[in-house]
Amino acid sequence: MSSHPPAPEMPFLPFALPEIGEDEIAEVVDTLRSGWVTTGPKARRFEAAFTEYLGDASLQSIAVNSATAGLHLALEAVGVGPGDEVITTTHTFTATAEVVRYLGADVKLVDIDPATLNIDPAAVEAAITPRTKCLIPVHYAGLAADMTALLAIARRHGLKVVEDAAHALPTTHGGARVGTLASDATVFSFYANKTITTGEGGMLVTRDAALADRARVMRLHGMSRDAFDRFTAKVPSWYYEIVAPGFKYNLTDIAAALGLHQLRRADAFQRRRAELAAAYDEALAGLPLVRPPQPPAGDMHAWHLYVLRLAEGAPIGRDALIERLYADGIGCSVHYIPLHRHPYWRERYGLRDEDFPHSQHAYERTLSLPLYTRMADSDVQRVAASLRRALAG
Ligand SMILES: *Cc1c(COP(=O)(O)O)cnc(C)c1O
């Protein structure tokens, strides 16, 4: 197995790297020199630019310090609480589900559609009980979940829908951008390895004015006015009222400065990611691998992740394959160790692998290849060559 020594002449190809340009750096420096480093004018501008980017002026964008925070705020605002159940996919990161537990509600994990690796609408419908309050679809890897089916189910059963769009900037479903669909709220992530980054950060997007008001207040301690409001207001600036025990989830202007310029590049980033994904598809054709599902005709995939599955009969296992790539100086990852495999979720809800056959099957044979805008075309060829050697047996 380990008879393949590292190739020292090749630099290590990391699994993910952000692309931060001089515009981002200058904007951050400008913020640092401005005297206003926490939530203020740049966070406001970032919010306005985000709504404009999504192209629907009826939306409100609320900047937060992570997508996890945004999901927590959205669920709180739609009224998820003790006694409620929230349905989501087992094939996700724990953040999607942990926020449900923050609110004292319970998580109902369901299986995926093996063709798309996205939450299976039929499994959602089968999991609904009188306690079900909300669905959290995840747009896995940047491919939209079947929102047409999921929104129809939600309407039929009177459920709230909060989209985990951490992978989905920009993604479309039925030609409409994720963020503009008919759910109650959508949450994007600007974590370091996401399609655009503010280091840490997120955006909650909603068309529901009451939800937006509640999320804004809960984002900052349950305060009736934020610090920038008070700083710039004509009335005495010391006065505010606490209307709820809120959280500390605001995005700093330092982070928003990055976001302003990353957002301008989001479409170009997506085109580069799509190009790299297509190059992988071509270079890996003929190998015993299941390549990632494509979006429906006319729709956009954000290509946050390029996820492969080993085909039946492949001459090497997933773990060994990752080791071989690593020995060739290539970083890989696995998305995800499904939630039903983790001790907390497994034990709390008595989950078994057999309850999630498609997620379990995908997990056992899945790996994610490096995919980011700073990769060269030659990096794709290098990864493909390494895979070809490893799969030759
Ligand atoms: C990254 C991620 C999150 C959390 O995003 P943060 O901004 O790091 O809080 C949530 N859900 C999914 C599917 C993610 O990949």
- Comparing CA positions, the residue from 101, 99, 96 lying closest to residue 119 is 96
Query: Residue 389 in 3-state DSSP?
Result: helix
> Which atom of ligand 1 lies nearest, measured to the CA of 95?
10
Do both 223 and 289 map to the same domain? no
Best residue for ligand 1 mutational test, from 64, 88, 92, 93 (most atoms within 8 Å of Cβ): 93
pLDDT at residue 90 tops 90: yes
Q: Which helix (H) or strand (E) holds 176?
A: strand 176-177
For residue 304, the CA-to-ligand 1 centroid distance in Å is 12
Mean pLDDT of the 284-311 span: 97
The domain tally of the chain equals 2
Domain range for 373 is 266-390
Q: Final residue of a domain: which of 213, 247, 264?
A: 264
* Co-location of 232 and 327 in the same domain: no
Distances (CA, A) of 367 to 168, 194, 310, 325, 331: 19, 17, 8, 11, 11
Rounded Cα distance between 393 and 391, Å, is 5
Residue 13 lies in a domain: no
Specify the pLDDT at position 224.
83
Instruction: Say whether both 40 and 84 belong to one domain.
Output: yes
| Nearest protein CA to atom 1 of ligand 1, as residue | 166
User: Catalytic residues, which ones?
Assistant: 194
- Same domain flag for 131 and 216: yes
pLDDT digits (tens, 9 = 90+) for 204-240: 999 999 999 999 999 999 998 776 676 777 777 788 8
Alpha-carbon distances, residue 206 vs 13, 164, 180, 250, 305 (angstroms): 38, 13, 8, 17, 25
The pick from 94, 96, 163 for probing ligand 1's pocket by mutation, whose C-beta has the most ligand atoms within 8 angstroms, reads 96
> Ligand 1: which residue has its CA nearest to atom 14?
166
Q: Which CATH number characterizes residue 272's domain? A: 3.90.1150.10
Q: Which amino acids bring their CB within 6 angstroms of ligand 1?
A: 66-68, 92-93, 95-96, 138, 164, 166-167, 189, 191, 202
Among the candidates 264, 287, 303, a domain finishes at 264
The most distant pair of C-alpha atoms in the chain lies apart, rounded to whole Å, by: 74
Look up the pTM and report it. 0.96
Is pLDDT of 332 > 50? yes
Q: Please tell me the predicted confidence (pLDDT) of residue 233.
A: 73
Question: Ligand 1 centre and the CA of 196: distance in Å?
Answer: 12
Pairing of strands 185-189, 160-164: parallel
- Asked if the structure places residue 16 within a domain, the reply is no
What's the burial of 354, exposed, middle or buried (CB within 10 Å: 0-12/13-18/19+)?
exposed
Residue 225's pLDDT is: 75
Residues 58, 182: one domain? Answer: yes
